[in-house]
Structure 1
Amino acid sequence: MRFIPQGLFVNVVCSLFLCNCFIFRCVRIEKKNMQFFTITKISSIFILKIKLYKVNMRVKFFFSMLLITMLLGCGDSDSRMVLQPGVSKKLAQERAGLIGNLSYDIRFNIPKGCNEKVDGYEIITFDFKRDLGQVVLDFTGDASSIKNVMCNEKEIAYELINEHIVISSKYLKKRGNRIAIKFLAGDQALNRKDDLMYTLLVPDRARTVFPCFDQPDLKAYFKLELDLPKGWTAISNASIADSVTTSGSRTTFKFQQSDLISTYLFSFTAGKFSKAQKEIDGKKYAVLYRENDAKKVAQNLDSIFYMVDYSVRWMERYTGILYPFQKYDLAIIPFFQFSGMEHPGSVFYVDSKMFLAESATQPEKIARAELIAHETAHLWFGDLVTMPWFDDVWMKEVFAGFFADKIVKELFPSVNSDLQFLIAHAPKAYSEDRTKGTNPIKQRLENLNLAGTMYGNIIYHKAPIVIRSLEKLMGQYAFQNALREYLRTYSLGNASWGDLVKIFDKHARFSVKDWSKSWVESAGMPIYAYDVYYKDSVGCGIVLRQKLPSEIRLPYLQLIEFTKLVHHKGTSQSALLGKKGGKEQVLIFPKCRRNNDCFIPNSNGFGYGYFELDSLKCASIVRHYQNLKNPVHRASCIVTLYENMLNGNFDGKSMLALLVRVVEYEKNELLISMSLDYLLSANLYFISKDDAATREMVECSLWNAYSHTNDNKLKIQYLRTIAKVMHSEKSARKMHEIWSHEVVSDNRWIGEMDLQNFAFELCIRMPEESSSILNVTRKSIKNIDNLRRFNFISQAVDPKKIVRDKLFESLLHLENRKQEAWVADALKLLNHPLRNDESEEYLAKGLSILPEIQQTGDIFFPKNWLSSLLYGHTSADDYAIVCGYISKEGKSISPSLLSKVYQCSDLLKRSTSIASKK
């Protein structure tokens, strides 16, 4: 062994230690960030380590300092870029400052068979504003999915890491970079059948199809080319160019360049469609559809075109901005996962809400108009101006919903718009906001792979109520002017809620920023309680108090109306709570009579919160209900009483008795529809299975209402409810008689989908006749898409449990969940209330794959899966299974996904809690 002087030995050891630290640090960073170092670089460090002791002391000191600097530098890199699966907020923020002038030129080759792979080729063009060592693209495909990568005309090396393609900046220049990639497109968001396919890329699914910068604030121009089977047609965001050519068995569609849009708004659909076009006062519209019932098409198309055009022109007038995109084409798609999707130039709609039956109810007609208006409003709020990150996705949804309500008000002038607004939003908003799984309207989001969990009734239904309240407080003209300024300022760009709040504050006489802290940025809702006191000289007064959730510091600012009812006459007054921190308000009513007055909180339905009643107040409202002349007052009472029932302040039987009375004697179709929904819920969750008398009373009342009206729009609503609640053989036979006549009739008044759903319900109640029922129904179906659905779902009502078990087990595998709407319907029937005991075993397994459902399904599927899985389960044992999941596996899933479990199990929790106290 060669002797080394002690001082030199110490320095060499220190140097070796620093080298090893550096190498270890780099390897750790490599594993965490996947920023690989070449073998050459690491080898040179080893050589340095071996020879370091030969140099003089100053050089050794210099190298030691250099290594320390390198070590610290590695730490900086570590904090700067962490490549996680999905698209992290940190990555998105960094890229937003790097990438500019972005465009995609994409070509897809769509084979005829839906199981064959889709070849893709793209050229991504962009400027590289500043050099951080690499550029990161998003793509979920594996290494075999990427055939070739070229950058600026040269084939290059790249890394595929955690759903990202990492390219060194040494291949890039400041302006005009061109990255060309040959790839196999992922199927997850292509929604393919043998004769139909469509993209659905919201919120972060573009990266499952093609490599891209998949974040909303990197808007780009798209130029698309599709090579399709002959006989197919297609639409995309831009118009079809002139160069459409046909050769052999293939057709090539070349599209013009799109407008500037986010990746989640890029879209196309292709397949065997029929096409209709219409020009209305200079504006051209086109629709693709697959409905083959000529009569149904003729009954609906003109109305669809009219409502689209009306919505476009209404938005132009309100915003002061003409329609901001090249065209308005729409595709009406069978069993589309959403009601609609607002892709500019190619808006998608679900067929069941567009092509209505001849007997369509008023709520169904209003829902269609609201859907069209909602998607059209998105073209300004969401498409023209887009949120920079999906934590503000609620902004585009709230304004689309808010303006849809305004448009529907004009499209249906004879409908009470306040009643429609209340019924459309309040019950659904409370269904989530009352639960342990409630969330703020504006939520936090660290990764786009969880963006789907942002969606729900809070943003779709609570948010419009809240924004309507803001408009009321600001004044409609100040509110409108603020929104016009917002659209002008950020046109074709991105803006956050904070950006809009600053503009609102310029136009409001109060702090919208403070208002937002309670209403938008905090979870839950206010609780209101009130006491009545009498003074002979004054009359009577109401002391209204606002209770706040513990985490809320600022009171909720809103107007609350109270109505005092004496006999048939009502007197109303409003209280503004929350102003200057006030949590209490006194309202004075003249000429009061003790024990004769009925006070209705939130009588106009404008307020939002839980209005707490005691048993005497509940009884007073029920006693005076028939004296309420204003339908909005009646609707508000039903909502308030139902919420108090859920909180144990009002008996379930009493609630059901009131609803039955409303259904039998109410004349307003919207109120009947809402009451039937509440009746279904109360009957399922809050009436004992052994209470045969109450169930018989419900069935008899519904049949009585059915037989006493000649209005088919009401009849079909009663039949839909009877089909779900019927327990008696008598009801089943009566339903079978109606169904068997209509299913073979050439002049039906009941729609095809209703007949299918009635058949499923009858199969469960009449298992010995299920085979005949299904065969007759199958022969009556003329539409191929409807037949596919029917054949899939019919397995769920098979009388043999082994068949149903096999279907359920198949749904646990991704390849069998492609048709999510069908899956949800089938799962709901598998967990039917009449088969509760046999389906209890499905609960634990269905809950266990919830993270996979969220990762692989579209944005609404996790909640739809949960709602269908838990449907029909009302026992304490069922709730114990849910609680077991929450306490174990629930700890390891994302909080936003866990909140869906709380939301969907809320009625089960409340019913078991109330039952345990009896």
Structure 2
Amino acid sequence: MPGENLTRVEAQERAALIRTHSYDVTLDLTRGSETFLSTTTVRFSAEAGASTFIDAITRTVHSVTLNGAELDPAQVSDGVRIQLDGLAAENELTVVADAIYTNTGEGLHRFVDPVDGEVYLYSQFEVPDSRRMFAVFEQPDLKAEFTFTVTAPAHWVVVSNSPTPQPVDAGDDAKTWSFPATSRISSYITALIAGPYDSVHSELTSSDGRTIPLGVYTRKSLSEYLDADYIFDKTREGFAFYEEKFDYAYPFEKYDQLFVPEFNAGAMENAGAVTFTETYVFRSKVTDAIKERRVVTILHELAHMWFGDLVTMKWWNDLWLNESFAEYASTLATAEATEWTEAWTTFAAMEKSWAYKQDQLPSTHPIVATINDLEDVQVNFDGITYAKGASVLKQLVAWVGQDDFLAGVAKYFKKHEHSNTELRDLLVELEATSGRDLTDWAAKWLETAGVNTLRPEIAVDADGTITSFAVLQTAAADYPTIRPHRLAIGFYNLVDGALVREHRLELDVDGERTEVAELVGQKRPALVLLNDDDLAYAKIRLDEDSLAVAIEHLAKIESPLARSLVWGAAWDATRDAETPASDYVRLVLGNIATETESTTIRTTLSQLALAAGSYVAPERQQATAEEAASALWALAQQAEAGSDAQFQFVKFFAALASTDEHLAAIAALRDGSTTLPGLTVDTDLAWELLIALVAGGAAGQDEIAAALAADNTANGAQFAAQASASIPTLEGKQAAWDSVFATDSAPNAIVRYTGLGFQRAADKSVLAAFVAPYFEALQGVWESRSYKIAEYLVAGMYPAPLANAELRDATRAWLDANQEPAALRRLVVENLAGVERAIAAQERDAQ
């Protein structure tokens, strides 16, 4: 990573000197497995006589020609940048270089399918990695037209941002594809996907009457599982929704969606050529939560075609706005344009819980973060960027009104099409359509960090009539901002066995105390729910009486969204060590059986596992985990046949299983001697059950090898890596450690899955041996690995399950001794925060 950074000051200076016009990029992908030939001709204006540089991460630069003059590559290139001096008013630069394929999911990623030996390529350029494929002024505000010409094996398919042309013969069993120029876009949303992909095609009619070709692509060995028709249906629903709400026709010529292997993210918004993780191609049964998340992701990336691709931020400090808008818009579209009508419940259960967690870390930051360089972007690409930003946009929509918000967005697209903007450009349009001055709102919500907590304060007389009602607002000591909130208060009572809302009040809350006179004189309900409908971004607490009702009757709350808010409030109080983790475990096990929303189940069971394994007092953790696993197995046996709940109870039972009885049940389920009505133990579930057996010491390398032989696929290899790393012995953990630290050849997906297995340990003491080696390795990893691989190692191989004072103290000691680099420190600080929170929760549980 050293030497590859770019500072904001450098970007501003470069943007002041030059204006880019066009790139002609010619790539030869037939030259072997390590490098490809990249020839770039870029045309740009400049301040005459000025000097600047172009970005190009290369193995070898063969030639650099500036305005007809040959420059000595040895003098002007260091493998990361090429220095350009004595520029003319109009310039033409040609760079010929060998660029490097990666296996890290950054730049041009190369993957070999173990099923058939076929090679598949795809690009991933956000944030700074188009420079790994061609020479480029790598910053979002230097937009240009891009023309790609690609020579590749004749049997391949080649896809880019522009419509795919008919290829011409290039000899030696190769063909050349010459793509038409793109519109003016930023380099990070250019794309190249190449290989023998299978595809399905369709089309739709845009609101301006154009026919938009649609394509869905996946590897040949996965194509039998591709449900293209459903993906096309959701895409059409998204197109219709966005074109109406944005009042702007789709801005590109075609729309391809490509599911690619070993992808680091959920998806990437390349203009007209969106890439997705191929885990969204379902070869085995998945939860409804995953099915819904795929729809949200499809609509998230589609929203980016307008917000991010058509109009792009000037610098990465506004990356949050790109991602937050797409997350908000995709949830809105999912709820209003698809069958997933409870999308806002999903948002509350998953996105907001992520946001609250991220916002309480020592590394939290304002939504509008200070981004001094590319490393700042990488570490701030987080739950604040996505989830808190989207939550705050939802609050803004409640503040200004949805119709006025969308009208302002539509004006923003028209005014700034094909250009770059800053946050203020959007706020100007929202102020114009809503009539609200957003200066104070933006300062308090976007320029400060931390999450507020809201509590009701209720007084009643002898017959239960409310005599006073106030909303109290507090802030963390380190982030003391008190903010304005638009929220609703719901009154819930038991009616015919259900807890239903009988009154709702929407109001503005500001200051440390907000009196709510409108509720005085009403009968106190069974349950008072602050932030009903989840308009505001804030942690909520239930008053004592409401909490007792919620715990007793949580399953009877009629509204899925209200249930999600109560689940969330209970978890927040547990994480904050206000209530014992053991109480949360009992709450979950007593109420989860009747929960209907898949994402709420998934989130809640994940939190159950963390509470049982790390937040309960250490002396009770083993017994609690055993109790939880046994309860989940009982729930799985009692659940509706073939239901999503049954499936999730089995999966989380496997994740928590530890006793001989548990392992025997899992082995029987896996080999078919025990069955559950409606449950099929398919390929992926069989792997999860095997991993549970390995982690419990009831299976080992022989069983892993047999399973991999039966599933010799990329998915199989990843599961096998996780299983091997789950072996619960010191020797097993050491082998997993060596497989990612002692060699740098493992691809990104294998590194990530190895971390998942490494952290799995029923007897956590086996991980104690890795505390010192972990800290000894950190600086070397950061210096020698790509950012994403380093992140996977720093986070995934941290022995977090120990969650004890020894790990805390060792982490603090490393931080005291290592003040740089800041990006690495942040990852370690976040690791430490998890341990400190666990210790605090353990101490509370022990009281």
Using the size of structure 2 for normalisation, the TM-score is 0.90
Q: Deviations over 1:15-62 (max 9, x none)?
A: xxxxxxxxxxxxxxxxxxxxxxxxxxxxxxxxxxxxxxxxxxxxxxxx
Q: Which amino acid aligns with 2:357?
A: S
- SS in structure 2 at match of 1:480: helix
Q: 2:240 aligns with which of 279, 294, 313?
A: 313
Provide the C-alpha distance between the structure 2 equivalents of 1:456 and 1:685, rounded to a whole number of angstroms: 23
> 5 Å matches for 1:342-361?
342-355=269-282, 357=284, 359-361=285-287
- 1:228/1:252 contact within 8 Å kept: yes
Compared CA separation, residues 291 and 362, structure 1 to 2 (3 A): farther
Match of 2:655 in 1: 724
For residue 536 of structure 1, report the CA deviation from its aligned partner.
5.6
- 1:105/1:124 contact within 8 Å kept: yes
Match of 1:332 in 2: 259
> 5 Å matches for 1:374-389?
374-389=300-315
Q: 1:226 aligns with which of 133, 143, 150?
A: 150
Provide the C-alpha distance between the structure 2 equivalents of 1:201 and 1:849, rounded to a whole number of angstroms: 28
Matched, 1:215 2:128: no
Match of 2:37 in 1: 119
Provide the C-alpha distance between the structure 1 equivalents of 2:515 and 2:779, rounded to a whole number of angstroms: 47
Q: 2:164 aligns with which of 223, 240, 248?
A: 240
- 1:101/1:220 contact within 8 Å kept: yes
- SS in structure 2 at match of 1:459: helix
Compared CA separation, residues 377 and 570, structure 1 to 2 (3 A): closer
Matched, 1:584 2:514: yes
Q: 1:672 aligns with which of 601, 608, 620?
A: 601
- 1:875/1:912 contact within 8 Å kept: yes
Match of 2:6 in 1: 87
- SS in structure 2 at match of 1:269: strand
Match of 1:520 in 2: 446
For residue 286 of structure 1, report the CA deviation from its aligned partner.
1.6
- 1:399/1:464 contact within 8 Å kept: yes
Provide the C-alpha distance between the structure 2 equivalents of 1:593 and 1:403, rounded to a whole number of angstroms: 38
Q: Which amino acid aligns with 1:138?
A: D
Match of 1:837 in 2: 765
For residue 92 of structure 1, report the CA deviation from its aligned partner.
1.0
Matched, 1:147 2:62: yes
Q: Deviations over 1:185-211 (max 9, x none)?
A: 133422123412222111011223332
Compared CA separation, residues 218 and 107, structure 1 to 2 (3 A): same
Compared CA separation, residues 669 and 448, structure 1 to 2 (3 A): closer
Match of 1:138 in 2: 55
For residue 500 of structure 1, report the CA deviation from its aligned partner.
1.4
Q: 1:778 aligns with which of 708, 730, 737?
A: 708
Compared CA separation, residues 92 and 196, structure 1 to 2 (3 A): same
Matched, 1:278 2:202: yes
- SS in structure 2 at match of 1:762: helix
- SS in structure 2 at match of 1:906: helix
- 1:558/1:578 contact within 8 Å kept: yes
- SS in structure 2 at match of 1:231: coil
Q: Deviations over 1:832-868 (max 9, x none)?
A: 1325222233344445555666674456972684155
Percent identity, aligned pairs only?
Answer: 19
Provide the C-alpha distance between the structure 1 equivalents of 2:150 and 2:798, rounded to a whole number of angstroms: 39
Compared CA separation, residues 864 and 365, structure 1 to 2 (3 A): farther
Compared CA separation, residues 85 and 273, structure 1 to 2 (3 A): closer
- Residues 611-620 or 638-647, more deviating: 611-620
Counting matched residue pairs gives 818
Compared CA separation, residues 220 and 583, structure 1 to 2 (3 A): farther
Q: Deviations over 1:643-673 (max 9, x none)?
A: 1112222111111101011222334444323
Provide the C-alpha distance between the structure 1 equivalents of 2:780 and 2:241, rounded to a whole number of angstroms: 42
Match of 1:467 in 2: 393
Matched, 1:703 2:633: yes
Compared CA separation, residues 609 and 864, structure 1 to 2 (3 A): farther
- 1:712/1:749 contact within 8 Å kept: no
- 1:392/1:497 contact within 8 Å kept: yes
- Residues 191-200 or 517-526, more deviating: 191-200
> 5 Å matches for 1:620-699?
620-688=549-617, 690-691=619-620, 692-699=622-629
> 5 Å matches for 1:162-561?
163-169=80-86, 172-175=87-90, 177-188=91-102, 189-194=107-112, 195-281=119-205, 282-290=211-219, 292=221, 295-297=224-226, 300-355=227-282, 357=284, 359-413=285-339, 415-535=341-461, 539-549=466-476, 555-561=482-488
- 2:470/2:513 contact within 8 Å kept: no
- 2:65/2:93 contact within 8 Å kept: yes
Provide the C-alpha distance between the structure 2 equivalents of 1:558 and 1:627, rounded to a whole number of angstroms: 28
Q: Deviations over 1:148-193 (max 9, x none)?
A: 1111222134533694211211xx3212x21111111133422123
Match of 2:535 in 1: 606
- Residues 501-510 or 689-698, more deviating: 689-698
Compared CA separation, residues 414 and 774, structure 1 to 2 (3 A): closer
Compared CA separation, residues 588 and 362, structure 1 to 2 (3 A): same
Compared CA separation, residues 392 and 870, structure 1 to 2 (3 A): farther
- 2:237/2:338 contact within 8 Å kept: no
- SS in structure 2 at match of 1:324: coil
- Residues 278-287 or 232-241, more deviating: 278-287
Compared CA separation, residues 485 and 864, structure 1 to 2 (3 A): farther
Matched, 1:892 2:814: no
Compared CA separation, residues 254 and 607, structure 1 to 2 (3 A): same
Provide the C-alpha distance between the structure 2 equivalents of 1:780 and 1:160, rounded to a whole number of angstroms: 49
- 1:742/1:749 contact within 8 Å kept: no
Matched, 1:107 2:26: yes
RMSD value over aligned CA atoms? 3.0
Provide the C-alpha distance between the structure 2 equivalents of 1:909 and 1:216, rounded to a whole number of angstroms: 38
Match of 1:8 in 2: none
Provide the C-alpha distance between the structure 2 equivalents of 1:512 and 1:814, rounded to a whole number of angstroms: 52
- SS in structure 2 at match of 1:815: coil
Q: 2:671 aligns with which of 740, 763, 776?
A: 740
Match of 1:878 in 2: 807
For residue 420 of structure 1, report the CA deviation from its aligned partner.
2.4
Q: Which amino acid aligns with 1:336?
A: F
Provide the C-alpha distance between the structure 1 equivalents of 2:584 and 2:134, rounded to a whole number of angstroms: 53
Q: Deviations over 1:232-280 (max 9, x none)?
A: 2221112233442242232322222122211111210212321221234
- SS in structure 2 at match of 1:841: helix
Q: Deviations over 1:433-491 (max 9, x none)?
A: 12222111111111124321121111211111110111111111211111111111110
Provide the C-alpha distance between the structure 2 equivalents of 1:314 and 1:420, rounded to a whole number of angstroms: 20
For residue 748 of structure 1, report the CA deviation from its aligned partner.
8.4
For residue 702 of structure 1, report the CA deviation from its aligned partner.
0.8
For residue 340 of structure 1, report the CA deviation from its aligned partner.
0.4
Q: Deviations over 1:506-544 (max 9, x none)?
A: 223332121111111111011223322124696332221
Provide the C-alpha distance between the structure 2 equivalents of 1:603 and 1:121, rounded to a whole number of angstroms: 57
Compared CA separation, residues 155 and 185, structure 1 to 2 (3 A): same
Match of 2:208 in 1: none
Compared CA separation, residues 97 and 385, structure 1 to 2 (3 A): same
Compared CA separation, residues 411 and 765, structure 1 to 2 (3 A): farther
Provide the C-alpha distance between the structure 2 equivalents of 1:663 and 1:553, rounded to a whole number of angstroms: 36
Q: Which amino acid aligns with 1:648?
A: A
- SS in structure 1 at match of 2:252: coil
Provide the C-alpha distance between the structure 1 equivalents of 2:340 and 2:20, rounded to a whole number of angstroms: 49
Provide the C-alpha distance between the structure 1 equivalents of 2:674 and 2:264, rounded to a whole number of angstroms: 27
Larger proportion of helix? 1
Provide the C-alpha distance between the structure 1 equivalents of 2:662 and 2:631, rounded to a whole number of angstroms: 12
- 2:571/2:584 contact within 8 Å kept: yes
For residue 338 of structure 1, report the CA deviation from its aligned partner.
1.0
- Residues 250-259 or 489-498, more deviating: 250-259
Match of 1:57 in 2: none
Provide the C-alpha distance between the structure 1 equivalents of 2:339 and 2:156, rounded to a whole number of angstroms: 41
For residue 686 of structure 1, report the CA deviation from its aligned partner.
1.8
Provide the C-alpha distance between the structure 2 equivalents of 1:527 and 1:713, rounded to a whole number of angstroms: 33
- SS in structure 1 at match of 2:165: coil
Q: Which has the higher contact order (CA 8 A, sep 6+)?
A: 2
For residue 807 of structure 1, report the CA deviation from its aligned partner.
3.4
